[in-house]
C-alpha cells in the first residue's frame, strides 16, 4: 500500500510519490486546488466533474503541476449516479492504478428557509453532498481493504457543526456527512484505512457567492488553504490518524 514518502531528505515534490488520488468535483475551486497540490507532491491525480470545459482547463493545470510526467486524468462523471461512479473508479484504476487517496470534494449549496425549498432542492443537495460520498467511498473501499490501507478525505464544512438561518438543507447534508465520515472511520480503520473530514469556513470561490450574502474575499479562506490541509492529512505518518480538521480565517469575514 503506497502512502506518503517520508524522511528529512525526501524532496517536497516526492512526498506523495507512488500515491494515486481521485478528487471529485476537481474541475474548479477547492477541488482544482486540491488536485494541483497533490500532483505537485508527486501523486498521480485524477479529477472528475460534469463540465467538459472546466475539466479540460483543469487538465492543463494538472499537466503543469505533474512536471509533464503524464500521471493525471480528467474524467467527465456525475458522482450522484451509481453507474457513473463505478465506471469512474474503474477508468482511473485502469489508467493510473488503484486509488490510494480519495478526496470527496463535490458539493453544492442551496440556501434559504427550508420551508420555502422544494423536495427537488432537497434531493439535489443530498445527492451531491452526501450520497456521492457514499457511492465513491464504497467503490474504492474494496481495493483499499485488499491492499491494507488508503486515505478517504471528505470535504465537509463548519456548517456541519453549526447552524445558521437559511442553511437548513445545506447544513443537514454536512451534518450527515460528519456522521457518515465518523462511522466509516470506525468501520475501516481496522483495515488500515483512514477516513478524515475537513471542515472549512467560507472559502473564496464561486461557491461562496451562491446566496449567503456578501463577504470580503480577502478575509476568507482560500482554496489553497484547504488544499494544504488535504496534503497534510494525506502525508501524515503511517501510524497517525487525523480524524478532523476545522479551518477558519485569521480575520473574521
From the candidates 170, 178, 196, 200, which is the catalytic residue? 170
Give me the helices (H) in 66-191, please.
82-96, 119-126, 132-147, 168-188
∠ CA 212-50-19, nearest 5°, is 100
Residue 191 falls in the annotated catalytic set: no
Asked whether the beta carbons of 223 and 205 are under 8 A apart, the reply is: yes
- What are the angstrom distances between the C-alpha of 37 and each of 16, 55, 96, 121? 10, 16, 17, 32
Rg (CA), the chain: 17
Say how far apart CA 108 and CA 84 lie, in whole Å: 19
∠ CA 177-225-97, nearest 5°, is 65
C-alpha cell at 82: 451509481
**Per-residue DSSP letters for 9-45?**
TS-GGGTTTT-EEEEETTTSHHHHHHHHHHHHTT-EE
Q: Catalytic residue positions?
A: 170
Amino acid at each position: 500500500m503506497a502512502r506518503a514518502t517520508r524522511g528529512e531528505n525526501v524532496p517536497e515534490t516526492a512526498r506523495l510519490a507512488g500515491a494515486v488520488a481521485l478528487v471529485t468535483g476537481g474541475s474548479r475551486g477547492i477541488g482544482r486546488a486540491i488536485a494541483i497540490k497533490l500532483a505537485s507532491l508527486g501523486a498521480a491525480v485524477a479529477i472528475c466533474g460534469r463540465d467538459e470545459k472546466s475539466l479540460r482547463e483543469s487538465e492543463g493545470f494538472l499537466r503543469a503541476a505533474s512536471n509533464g510526467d503524464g500521471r493525471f486524468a480528467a474524467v467527465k462523471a456525475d458522482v450522484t449516479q451509481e453507474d457513473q461512479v463505478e465506471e469512474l473508479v474503474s477508468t482511473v484504476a485502469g489508467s493510473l492504478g488503484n486509488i490510494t487517496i480519495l478526496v470527496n470534494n463535490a458539493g453544492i449549496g442551496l440556501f434559504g428557509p427550508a420551508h420555502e425549498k422544494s423536495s427537488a432542492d432537497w434531493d439535489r443537495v443530498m445527492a451531491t453532498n452526501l450520497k456521492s460520498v457514499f457511492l465513491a467511498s464504497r467503490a474504492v473501499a474494496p481495493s483499499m481493504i485488499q491492499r491494507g490501507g488508503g486515505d478517504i478525505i471528505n470535504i465537509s464544512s463548519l456548517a456541519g457543526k453549526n447552524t445558521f438561518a437559511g442553511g437548513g438543507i445545506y447544513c443537514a447534508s454536512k451534518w450527515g456527512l460528519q456522521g457518515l465520515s465518523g462511522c466509516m472511520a470506525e468501520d475501516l480503520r481496522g483495515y488500515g484505512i483512514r477516513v478524515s473530514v475537513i471542515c472549512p469556513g467560507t472559502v473564496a470561490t464561486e461557491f461562496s457567492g451562491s446566496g449567503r450574502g456578501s463577504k470580503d474575499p480577502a478575509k476568507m479562506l482560500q482554496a489553497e488553504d484547504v488544499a494544504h490541509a488535504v496534503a497534510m492529512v494525506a502525508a501524515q505518518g503511517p501510524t497517525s490518524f487525523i480524524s478532523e480538521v476545522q479551518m477558519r480565517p485569521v480575520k473574521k469575514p
